Amino acid sequence: SKATLTVCVSGAAGQIAYSLLPLIARGDVFGQDQPIELRLLEIKPALDALHGVVMELYDCAFPLVRNIVETDDPMVAFQHADVTILSGSFPRRPGMERRDLIAKNVNIFKAQGQALDRVASKNVKVVVVGNPSNTNALVLSHFAPSIPKQNITALTRLDQNRAVGQIAMRTGVNADQVEGVAIWGNHSATQYPDVTHAKVNGEAVMPKLGGRQAVAEEFIPCIQKRGAAILKARGLSSAMSAANAIGDHLRSWILGDSKVVSMAVASDGSYDVKPGVYFSFPVRCGGGGDYEIVQGIEMDEFSRKYVSATTEELFAERQEALELCAV
């Protein structure tokens, strides 16, 4: 039988984790034959709540779960981690400036990067979920120099799934009949959900969505602001769909995927995005944790405008984060 996979989750008493942990523990992400050790990280004030979650995990009697660790120490949580999901971060409070949010999170992801560097498997696969996720991934990578940059990613699969879901709904097809959607850039309101090459049943999506102007005025803002719309409707941020997307992201990345998927990865200069930021690109996952940024996608004026806006935002966040790291 397979060796146990050590999976670490931060923010483990949070909303997303509450939807994610059963997916992982049931074998929906890494496979039905993959034993799992869960190492769960929280901040001290949330350890009681975390213990409640762990009690429930035991009460699920998941056959694949070999061991569960609860801790508020990243050095304990990340010990020998093969996969690390970072959903714990400092939330944006009303009236908080972006710089303040980045400052709070720089401290968290600095400490976690240092711990990861020291105690995780050198082959650990990391997905950063806590916002601002792309820049948190950058800070983490900066402080974990012994972990290859390609092993650190940030989640934009939720944005891709949202775009696919909207196209399926609006054109009256099943989600699996939609292909060629890509998310470029930051997981923020500047992200570019690109449907210029998307197809349903082999036919171009753009005309079906009403053409470029309708896509620019209606479809793209719908995806960019979807998180805020769910927060308004539910009174809580998206958690079920986020957990589902994390499962999709990891399944594609670790087990491979015949379809092109979007994830934020260290830019390598592809599509004129200078190296130095974590940027969402369409990638092809070959299995075993290998992936490559899909090359040669034609980018017209329409797309370039969006890509350059989100690139600029990421470099501005990078600047702020690096200044704060140096302090």
Residues lying near ligand NAI in the complex (CB under 6 A): 10-11, 13-16, 41-43, 46, 87-91, 108, 129-131, 133, 155, 158, 187, 237-239, 242
Q: Give the rounded distance of the alpha carbon of 43 from its chain centre.
A: 21
Cα of first residue to Cα of last residue in the chain, in angstroms, is: 49
For residues 12 and 206, which CB has a smaller minimum distance to ligand NAI in the complex? 12
Beta carbons of 251 and 27 less than 8 angstroms apart = no
Which of 294, 59, 274, 322 lies closest to 181 in space, CA to CA? 294
Compute the least distance from the CB of residue 50 to ligand NAI, in Å: 8
Compute the least distance from the CB of residue 76 to ligand NAI, in Å: 12
For residues 46 and 322, which CB has a smaller minimum distance to ligand NAI in the complex? 46
φ/ψ of 222, rounded to 5, equals: -60, -45
Compute the least distance from the CB of residue 16 to ligand NAI, in Å: 3
For residues 138 and 200, which CB has a smaller minimum distance to ligand NAI in the complex? 138
Residue 47, C-beta contacts closer than 8 angstroms, at least 6 positions apart: 13, 70, 72
Choose, from 51, 80, 142, 187, the residue flagged as catalytic: 187
Residue 196, C-beta contacts closer than 8 angstroms, at least 6 positions apart: 206, 300, 302, 303
Name the closest residue to ligand NAI (Cβ): 14
Assign 67 to helix, strand or coil.
strand
Beta carbons of 315 and 276 less than 8 angstroms apart = yes
For residues 237 and 308, which CB has a smaller minimum distance to ligand NAI in the complex? 237
Beta carbons of 138 and 275 less than 8 angstroms apart = no
What's 291's DSSP letter? E
Whether 187 sits among the annotated catalytic residues: the reply is yes
Assign 33 to helix, strand or coil.
coil
Compute the least distance from the CB of residue 301 to ligand NAI, in Å: 28
For residues 206 and 253, which CB has a smaller minimum distance to ligand NAI in the complex? 253
C-beta neighbour count of 123 within 10 angstroms: 11
Compute the least distance from the CB of residue 127 to ligand NAI, in Å: 9
Compute the least distance from the CB of residue 296 to ligand NAI, in Å: 27
C-beta neighbour count of 37 within 10 angstroms: 18
For residues 107 and 201, which CB has a smaller minimum distance to ligand NAI in the complex? 107
Which of 8, 24, 121, 9 lies closest to 64 in space, CA to CA? 24
Beta carbons of 161 and 244 less than 8 angstroms apart = yes
Write out the catalytic residue numbers.
187
